[in-house]
A = this chain, B = another copy of it.
Amino acid sequence: MNKVSVFRKEHFNAAHRLHNESLSADENARLFGRCNYPNYHGHNYDLIVQVTGEIDPVTGYVMDLKVLSDLISEQVLERFDHKNLNLDTEEFRNLNPTAENIAVVIYNRLRPFIDHTKELKIRLYETERNFVEYPG
């Protein structure tokens, strides 16, 4: 049978700063511009989690979106919402919190909890005009 994707949209608000500690202050300013300002800025991150698989004939679901929503809350929102990504999280202590890296981190946090027969893809909006997608 053909596969169907289901999507759940969530959001979280966080502060961050783009900075690579192995580079000079000048180089950081050149690479990251306003995003390198020392005291952090922040975003309303919109997160869309896509799970792809076959429809379960009993439920008519690929995956219960309530279950997916709870999983995202536990694994992502509890960890990142209203946090400073650089200061408050282990994941970004030594990893620059670009949208690309945040999407990969979210993928890796969710992947163990999604049935291995199903595919997972992450889309993350940093703003309405800047966003990323990671298919694993």
Contacts and interface: CB of A to CB of B under 8 A. Distances in A.
Contacts of A8: 129-130
Interface of A: 2-11, 13-16, 18, 20, 23, 31-35, 37, 39-44, 50, 55, 58-62, 64-66, 81-84, 87-88, 95-101, 103-104, 127-136
Main DSSP-derived SS at the A contact region: mixed
Contacts of A65: 130
Nearest to A61: B98
A55 B87 CA distance: 22
A62 to B, nearest CB: 6
Nearest to A37: B82
A13 to B, nearest CB: 5
Contacts of A58: 20, 23
Contact of A33 (B31, B34, B66): B66
B133 A4 contact: yes
A30 to B, nearest CB: 11
B43 A6 contact: no
Given A20-B58, A35-B82, A6 B41 contact: no
A4 to B, nearest CB: 5
Given A6-B100, A10-B129, A133-B4, A15 B42 contact: yes
A132 B23 contact: no
